[in-house]
């Protein structure tokens, strides 16, 4: 059956989608590198300036690029609106994530910072959420649907692509850490895909994605040792709980297309 979004806007080939993703990654890494050199900031995210230079500038540029592509393609409706709705029980996914986010936030270390820093980090992580969800659950999912893939394959491949692009972190880090991260992120991509499906759009998954990253960074980026905050185990718990429920209910996700 033809996707109801198929008549809206232009068509994007797989090769052009790959090119869009590569440019998106190049903006994040390239602009981030240049900004870091120009402002000569520390590697950590200890100050408001660190957050603005290392996160706001590259992620903001990537976010602007993402929605510029959406505009050029004329895909505002299929990117922002979800017609392939999921059954109500799938609301368990965003609820579990929301609870685990609240538990994972490192309130003690976060409140040692001034309000400017907290707001800067919150905005930065929303840039991540809206940018990545716009690119992969928005443009990516729409591209795969327009090529006639079944919804199961759309979920699978959009999540794999999302995980695979995080291997690019090896450019500035350890490949041994980037590969496991790519696998974990693939699962996260599927969870965010389900949040899009059940909520009827690309908004809630974008917000939760950003808050999820905020909760993790609050415990790993602020402290001088860059790790050791036990609250981040709540993020792992979110994966385990949702991962335990979905195999049982996986055949009861889809509703009819709206």
For the stretch 139-148, pLDDT in tens is: 999 999 999 9
In eight-state DSSP terms, residue 147 is: T
Can you give the length of the chain in residues? 258
Helix (H, G, I), strand (E, B) or coil at 44: coil
For residues 41 and 103, the model is more confident at 103
Can you state the angle between helices 92-104 and 233-249, rounded to 10 degrees? 170
Give the confidence band of 170 by pLDDT, cuts at 50, 70, 90. Answer: low
Per-residue pLDDT at 257 exceeds 60: no
Characterize 30-55 residue by residue with b for buried, 16 or more Cβ atoms within 10 angstroms of its Cβ, and e for exposed. ebbeebbeeeebeeebbbbebbbbbb
The torsion angles phi and psi of 201, rounded to 5 degrees, stand at: -175, -175
Per-residue pLDDT at 209 exceeds 70: yes
Would you state the pLDDT for residue 175? 62
Give the confidence band of 1 by pLDDT, cuts at 50, 70, 90. Answer: very low
Average pLDDT over residues 208-229: 77
Express each pLDDT in 94-124 by its tens digit: 999 999 999 999 898 888 899 999 999 999 9
- Which region among 8-12, 38-42, 205-209 has the lowest average model confidence (pLDDT)? 38-42
Which of 23, 6, 243, 1 is CA-nearest to residue 142?
A: 6
Give the confidence band of 224 by pLDDT, cuts at 50, 70, 90. Answer: very low
What average pLDDT does the chain have? 88
Would you state the pLDDT for residue 255? 57
Question: Which pair of structure tokens corresponds to residue 90?
Answer: 């799938």
Question: Which residues, 6+ apart, have CB-to-CB distance to 172 below 8 Å?
Answer: 29
Would you state the pLDDT for residue 258? 47
For residues 239 and 124, the model is more confident at 124
Q: Would you give the end-to-end CA distance of the chain in angstroms? A: 13
Give the confidence band of 5 by pLDDT, cuts at 50, 70, 90. Answer: low
The tokens 């957050």 sit on which residue? Answer: 51
Average pLDDT over residues 52-72: 97
């Amino acid at each position: 059956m033809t996707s109801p979004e198929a008549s809206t806007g232009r068509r994007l080939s797989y090769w052009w989608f790959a090119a869009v993703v590569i440019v998106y990654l190049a903006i994040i890494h390239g602009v981030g590198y240049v900004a870091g050199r120009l402002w000569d900031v520390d590697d950590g995210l200890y100050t408001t300036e660190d957050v603005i230079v290392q996160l706001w500038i590259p992620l903001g540029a990537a976010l602007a690029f993402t929605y510029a592509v959406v505009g050029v393609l004329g895909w505002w409706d299929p990117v922002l609106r979800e017609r392939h709705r999921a059954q109500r029980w799938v609301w368990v996914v965003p609820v579990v994530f929301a609870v685990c986010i609240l538990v994972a936030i490192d309130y003690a270390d976060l409140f040692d910072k001034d309000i400017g820093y907290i707001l800067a980090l919150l905005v930065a992580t929303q840039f991540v959420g809206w940018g990545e969800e716009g690119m992969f659950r928005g443009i990516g999912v729409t591209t795969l649907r327009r090529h006639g893939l079944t919804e199961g394959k759309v979920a699978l491949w959009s999540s794999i692509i999302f995980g695979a692009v995080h291997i690019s972190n090896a450019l500035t880090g350890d490949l041994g850490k980037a590969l496991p991260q790519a696998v974990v992120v693939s699962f996260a991509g599927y969870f965010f895909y389900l949040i899009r499906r059940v909520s009827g759009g690309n908004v809630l998954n974008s917000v939760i994605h950003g808050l999820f990253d905020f909760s993790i960074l609050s415990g790993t980026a602020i402290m001088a040792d860059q790790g050791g905050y036990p609250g981040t185990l709540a993020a792992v718990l979110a994966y385990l709980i949702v991962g335990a429920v979905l195999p049982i209910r996986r055949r009861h996700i889809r509703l009819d297309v709206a």
